[in-house]
Structure 1
Amino acid sequence: MMEAFAVSLTHFIMKTTKHCVGVDVSKDSIVCCLGSSQQEITVFSRPKTFTNDLKGFGQLLDWCLQQGDKEVSFVLEATGVYYERLAFWLDDRNQQLSVVLPNKIKHYSKSLNIKTKTDNVDAQILSRFGLERKLDYWKMPTKFMREIKSLTREYQEAKVKIVAAKNQLHAKEHSYNCLVSVSRRLKRQISLLENQLLEIEAELRTTVMSDTLFYDKITKVITIPGVSFITAIIVLAETNGFALVKNAKQLVSYCGLDIQHNQSGGHEGKSKISKKGNSFIRKALYMPALAASRYNKDLKVFYERIIDRKPAKKIGITAVARKLLILIYILWKNDQEYIFEEQINNAVMEVGRY
């Protein structure tokens, strides 16, 4: 019976026009499902499990080839870091793959009214998603971009640890009868973290300066008042140098700074940002937005205009952060320095105003 199923599936696949392998990735294993579609007919293979290592990757590709002579694409879910080895391995072998955010697959699954959640079901959902949607193919970051992304994330993690340690020290020193030894160790920890932060920043600057063209464009981006070298590098590292960004609206959505309106009939709820996107960029833009709202004459006017309409200062800061993100993108795309707001607004219109 299994042989008859395999023969009929192979016969169907050879007549189809689109083939997609959905890959559900976990720490130790990958579950794959091959879907094939022709017009309104779609069939799926039985899920197959491989180990999440080089041996398993090779077996996966062999299994795909055994299903028939065809060109397949792969759809992976961006689950932590576990998908990265397979994505790089497939890209090295010139395979077409797309990496989608988990929230997209979650909402897609709900639209299908699928309540069961297993690795096999998730793999089939990914395959179906790839067959129904036109997805952008994943572009592997260069070694240079991978290095600066690793360093910027380490930098942000060190900053978080320093803030946590300083808060602990403050709490201990203001508590009753704090032990001197406890305070001393916390101060040593803070000093160590601050030294590490300086080391990371120095290595980051050295790495960026090794690429003359990249460094030259960075120096133009940081002419925006309020945007530092670190902020610009974080944005570029997290977006792979805007490799797959087509317009400003898409970029804002990717970073979770897009506005969600809550209105139906006579009901008018609060609007808020989605926060469904890259949190590293949102965190990196918060302090620069605070500074820009005070010291960037163009954005200060913009900020004051926002809070005149909506008195909550957080709304104004978020709007400035979104504006800074678009400015960084525009200056990088056009390879130009920040001059004045009118010029930037004209450029924003070219790429899709948000």
Structure 2
Amino acid sequence: MRTLDNKTVTDKTCSVAIAQFGLERKLDLWHRPKSIYSNLQQLTRERDQIVFERTMVKNHLHAEKSETEPNESSLSGINTRIKFLNGQEKEIKKEIGNWISTDAYLKQEIENICTIPGIDELPAVIILAETNGFELIRNKRQLTSYAALDVEEKQSGTLVKGKPRISKSGNRHLRKAMHLPGLTAVRWDDNFRDLYARIVSKNGIKMKGLIAVQRKLLEMTYSIFKNKCFYEKEYEAKRIDQKNSVPAQMA
């Protein structure tokens, strides 16, 4: 709107600017999110808030125990609070499971996604809930940008040269959900371990390697969901063998 000639800001000028933006850009029509994804999103975000609150309460408990003379009534109250939060999280997980069991299609898609190393039911549900089943995602690049796992770089001439880093301008719930799966995949799967080691060997920064793994995992969930398939550990090796076998057959 700042690039337009009109400097007056009213409801009318703003609506004109929005209309012009819609005419100049190829935008997808907005559709109401499916109720099951909307409910799952609310539940997973509520669980995330409970986990965050429980961490704060546990830190408070640790601080109280570190006192010279801890107050027993305070410790009892904190422990009661932790048990209450544990119960809330358990109920939310049960409700998430009930929603999944009502939709056979969604259940099968989650099972396919869970074949990816490091991703279990909860991260799979968060990914689908936050993207509305990849409804408006056109490609992997758009998905990584939405999750704020895309790399931004600032450079101009020889004077301005910032370090490349992830943008963090996106869905923080989606980005947060990929952290633990990334750690698990690096530990238990050779493909992701090799990717992690290759990135770290270039710059010596472990976090960059971990973010690359998280991005790869997220892209893989998108591919598996769109292609209605499951994870194959030897897929890349088979693809290379098939590619090399074609010239040999032609010869």
Same fold? TM cut 0.5:
yes
The separation in 2 between residues aligned to 1:221 and 1:323, in whole angstroms, is: 13
C-alpha RMSD over aligned residues: 2.4
Higher relative CO (Cα under 8 Å, sequence separation at least 6) belongs to: 2
Contact 1:257-1:273 at 8 Å conserved across structures: yes
Given the alignment of the two structures, is residue 285 of structure 1 paired with residue 178 of structure 2, yes or no? yes
Equivalent runs, 1:201-240 vs 2, <5 Å = 201-240=93-132
Answer 1 or 2: which has greater helix percent. 2
- Cα offset for 1:175? 3.2
User: How far is 1:117 from its partner?
Assistant: 7.2
1:331 is aligned to 2:210: no
Residue 320 (str. 1) matches residue 213 (str. 2): yes
Residue 189 (structure 1) aligns with: 81
The answer as to 2:72 corresponding to 1:180 is: yes
**Partner residue of 1:254 out of 146, 150, 156:** 146
Aligned to 1:77: none
| 1:273 aligned partner | 166
- TM-score, normalised via structure 1 length: 0.62
What is the correspondence of 1:1-354 to structure 2 with a 5 Å cutoff?
109-112=1-4, 122-266=14-158, 267-340=160-233, 342-343=235-236
SS of residue in 2 equivalent to 1:244:
coil
Separation of aligned partners in 1, 2:71 and 2:211: 42
Partner Cα distance (2:31, 2:16) in 1:
23
Any idea what SS the aligned residue of 2:49 has? helix
Deviates more, 1:181-190 or 1:121-130: 121-130
Report how far residue 176 of structure 1 moved. 3.9
What per-residue deviation string (whole Å, max 9, x for no partner) do you get for residues 291-314 of structure 1? 112112210110011111121111
Q: Deviations over 1:196-229 (max 9, x none)?
A: 1111111101110111111011111101110010
Higher normalized strand content (fraction of residues): 1
How far residue 344 of structure 1 moved from its aligned partner, in angstroms, is 10
Segments of 5+ residues of structure 2 without an aligned counterpart are 240-251
3-state SS of the aligned residue for 1:336?
coil
Q: Whose radius of gyration is greater, 1 or 2?
A: 1
> In the TM superposition, what is the alpha-carbon distance from 1:268 to its structure 2 partner?
3.2
Contact between 1:148 and 1:207, CA under 8 Å: does it hold in 2?
yes
2:216 maps to amino acid: K
The equivalent of 1:48 in structure 2 is: none
Query: CA separation in 1, counterparts of 2:41 and 2:122?
Result: 11
CA distance, structure 2, for counterparts of residue 319 and residue 183 of structure 1: 42
Contact 1:226 1:289 in 2 (8 A): yes
Identity %: 37
Aligned pair count reads 238
Is contact 1:258–1:273 with CA below 8 Å preserved after alignment? yes
1:235, distance to aligned residue in structure 2 (A): 0.4
Amino acid aligned to 1:235: I
